[in-house]
Structure 1
Amino acid sequence: MAAWILKKRPMAESNKLLVGLFPAREVQAEIEAHRKNWWWPRGCSFPPGDRLHLTLQYLPDQQGNAEQRLRAALSEVSMQPLQLTLDRSCTWSNDASVVQPSEHEDLRRLQYDISRALVRAGFSLDVHVRGWTPHVTIARDAERAARPTSLKPIRWTATEFRLVRSHFTYPFRHEPLGSYPLH
């Protein structure tokens, strides 16, 4: 497997807010084991295990009262824990390699409910409900990556979603802002 390479990327904004599902360490380890079975061309970059996530919503950074309103909107979202199965992997035309869950109605409902709560609270969203493709990015700049013929299904019980601030700095980092249990 190619070594971890973090590239400097020019970004128009320094921060964005991400609402997502972050897998537990055991699931991270299974995703990373699958990633090791790929053939990676030079120049790929790989997110560290603790940054692996499935994006539910992405929006411009908020501060002060707006951030508090955002947190209040997210706390209104209610859903049972999700039993997900990651069972497909591929490289997309944007050169991102991903693992994807099998179709899951409750996952789509969670994404819809989060989006609806944020819109009701007056926020503009970067991820639209239509066209949303649930995935976990395992590599970037992965043109010509060769994946194994199959992915041993990875079981993932999602018990919370999180709000994090993504700092598009060098090095890139996630700042945890809140956790919202699924119960």
Structure 2
Amino acid sequence: MATSSTTTPQSTRLFLALWPDAAVREQLRAWRELWNWPRGASPVHTDKLHMTLHFLGNQPAESLPAPLDGLAVPFTPFRLQLGVAELWHNGIAVLSPQDTPQQLLDLHTALSGALPGVGLQPEQRPYRPHVTMARRAKGVAVPQNGPVIDWAVDHYTLVESKTGDGSGYTVLREYR
């Protein structure tokens, strides 16, 4: 087994997210099916649909216990109504809230304040709450009407994103 300078430290790719339950995930899937995806588009698999709060990037695996414990912030449950379909300039198709609840913005802000305490820095770009429905969707006809998804948000999650053979998302912790 290789050791010392030839070994690459193990890292894990992390993000904080609102993670829908099965009923909301099914409603998101139904919304995704309303789009007529162009050739080459990559719709997000149903089990990966979520709303990112903070992307944390690659982090050393050995530092994982600190983020797990240090990201519990005061949280007030809220209702989130999704129903605005958009295609962003970079070919990302999203479903956004009709109105952004103050409790969502408060949660985002509280997590921004907690990140430095576990050695992480929040992203500097403005927060745009959305669920990514597909990537590489340039040219898609954006559906104008679809059902409003009424999501009762009562928790947020710390999620690991695995690429390659271990492809997928693993919820590491739920925070209520």
TM-score (norm 2): 0.86
Matched pairs, number: 165
The match for 1:85 among 81, 88, 96 is: 81
Q: Specify the alignment match of 1:74 in structure 2.
A: 71
Taking a change above 3 Å as real, the CA distance of residues 160 and 34 of structure 1, as seen in their structure-2 partners, is: same
Structure 2 Cα separation of the partners of residues 68 and 161 of structure 1: 17
Give the gaps of 5 or more residues in structure 1.
1-12
Which of 1 and 2 has greater Rg? Answer: 2
Per the alignment, residue 154 of structure 1 pairs with 149
* Residue from 148, 166, 169 that aligns with 1:174: 169
Q: Partner of 1:151: helix, strand, or coil?
A: coil
TM-superposed deviation, 1:170: 4.5
Determine if the alignment matches structure 1 residue 38 to structure 2 residue 49. no
How far has the Cα of 1:134 moved from its partner? 0.4
Structure 1 residue corresponding to 2:14, chosen from 4, 9, 17? 17
Q: Does the CA contact (< 8 Å) of 2:11 and 2:60 recur in 1? A: no
CA shift, 1:28, in A, is 1.2
User: Whole-Å Cα distance in 2 between the matches of residues 118 and 14 of structure 1?
Assistant: 18
Shift of 1:72: 1.7
**1:96 equivalenced with 2:92 (yes/no):** yes
> How big is the alpha-carbon RMSD for the aligned residues of Structure 1 and Structure 2?
1.8
Separation in structure 2 between the aligned mates of residue 178 and residue 108 of structure 1, nearest angstrom: 21
Alpha-carbon distance between aligned partners in 1 of 2:54 and 2:96, rounded to the nearest angstrom:
16
Show the counterpart of 1:62.
60
Partner residue, 2:139? 144
How far did residue 175 of structure 1 move?
2.1
* Cα drift, residue 123 of structure 1: 1.2
Question: Quick one: distance in 1 between partners of 2:12 and 2:141?
Answer: 32
Change (3 A) 1:14 1:46: farther
Structure ranking higher in strand proportion:
2
Which amino acid is the alignment partner of residue 142 of structure 1? A
1:164 aligns with 2:159: yes
* Partners of 1:63 and 1:170 in 2: CA distance: 18
SS at match of 1:61: strand
Aligned sequence identity (%):
31
Answer yes or no: is the 8 Å Cα contact 2:85–2:144 preserved in 1: no
> What is the SS of the residue equivalent to 2:60?
coil
Deviates more, 1:116-125 or 1:156-165: 116-125
